[in-house]
Amino acid sequence: MQSMQSDSSTLPESAPFLRPLAFPRGQVARNSLWLAPLTNLQSEADGTLSDVEERWLLRRAEGGFGVIETCAAYVQQSGKTWPGQLGVDRDECLPRLRSLASGLRQRGALSIVQLFHGGARASRALAGDLVSATAHAVGDDHARAATDEDLIGTIDSFRAAALRVAAAGFDGVEIHGAHGYLPAQFLSRTNQRDDRWGGSLENRARLLRTLVQEVRRALPDHLVGVRLSPEDYGTVAGIDLDETATVAGWLAADGVDFVHASLWDHRQPSKKYPDEAPFQRIRAAVPLAIPVVAAGAFWTPAEASRWMHWAEALPAADGSGGAVAVALGSAAIVNPDWPAHAAQPGWEPTRLPVSAEHLAAVAVGAPFIDYLRRRRGFVADPA
């Protein structure tokens, strides 16, 4: 795999993640650090933003993150996948969304809502009728193949949700095309359809591209991005790295302002090309002006600096190095002031496991703490 090490200085004041991040339509984030979209189960039962979830996000903006992204927010009830999931599916959600957008702006962060539909991975208890690219079962839940009418309704819901997000005052949206959720179920080679939504890669990518095109038309001046899984990992099946790179290039032509690569672990090589990192082919497919964001187990400033020095040197579609950013997940949960502290020489973030008391002190609510207990080694409970 091409080395991610760099001989460049890693002094905090020269760390590349502290530089502003410019987007094609003129928005500029104060740095290249991104709060990853994190499932946290803190919304109200009806999907409206809660005080606890708002505080969780505002606290990370106070800590200096350049871009704050919400958790996956469902655009239709039929796509709701977890209890306590944020909803952007109706106008009743607007007052609390406006409060969050205003608070993030006051704290200096760009704000993005991730638009989501779980497809076959949605919860029947929460969503009701489940649809996917192809009829199949996930656990005890059975999904039917979506009809044209279903898909047109879903596209309309993404567009309406994007307009709602813009009306609330956010800077943009990200369409969740990763992790085996509805758009990825269509992208996957497990898609067995023989109509315009299946078969060739062009057909399998049609849903995701149509979502992007419709949202782009609805929000000509806002940020519009897409999150992609480069290849199979965990619950992701049927995703090929070369196909993902091709789709990333198509999405750039469709007008996205950024591509968000969900790597799970940025240190791991590609399964298909063991001498490469999967990020390399995504960056190469996207023009210089379009930032490519990487999420995947980043923890320390030194680690983020080394990776960015390496990633910025990768050729973009126009042959020059490309703009990149780092999204923090677990590290941001535990260390809300990561960006502010990263400028201090020798600073090292708190590592896992951490106590529930520590999490509560950094604005992680009780539902989120309970969720994190499911992750081995995250919460250190008293003996």
**Cβ-based neighbours of 290, under 8 Å, separated by 6 or more:** 24, 252, 256, 257, 258, 259, 322, 323
**Cβ-based neighbours of 95, under 8 Å, separated by 6 or more:** none
Looking at residue 35, its pLDDT comes to 98
CATH architecture for residues 12-351: Alpha-Beta Barrel (3.20)
pTM of the complete model beyond 0.85 = yes
Angle at alpha carbon of residue 37, lines to 35 and 38, rounded to 5°: 105
Q: How far apart are CA 231 and CA 189, in angstroms?
A: 11
Eight-class DSSP state of 63: T
Count of Cβ atoms closer than 10 Å to residue 156 Cβ: 13
Q: Give me the tens of pLDDT residue by residue for the chain, a chain 383 residues long.
A: 544 443 333 444 468 999 999 999 999 999 999 999 999 999 999 999 999 999 999 999 999 999 999 999 999 999 999 999 999 999 999 999 999 999 999 999 999 999 999 999 999 999 999 999 999 866 666 899 999 999 999 999 999 999 999 999 999 999 999 999 999 999 999 999 999 999 999 999 999 999 999 999 999 999 999 999 999 988 789 999 999 999 999 999 999 999 999 999 999 999 999 999 999 999 999 999 999 999 999 999 999 999 999 999 999 888 888 899 999 999 999 999 999 999 888 899 999 999 999 999 999 999 999 999 999 999 997 75
Looking at residue 110, its pLDDT comes to 98
Looking at residue 14, its pLDDT comes to 67
Ordered DSSP codes for 190-230: T----STTSSSHHHHTHHHHHHHHHHHHH-TTSEEEEEE--
Looking at residue 7, its pLDDT comes to 35
Tell me which residue of 173, 197, 194, 171 sits closest to 183, measured CA to CA: 197
Q: For residue 21, how far is the Cα from the chain centroid? A: 17
Looking at residue 4, its pLDDT comes to 46
Q: Please tell me whether residue 96 adopts helix, strand or coil conformation.
A: helix
Q: Say how many CA atoms lie within 13 Å of 231 toward its Cβ.
A: 20
Which tokens sit at 152? 């047109």
Looking at residue 3, its pLDDT comes to 42
Tell me which residue of 124, 52, 55 sits closest to 84, measured CA to CA: 52
| Rg, Å, the chain Cα set | 20
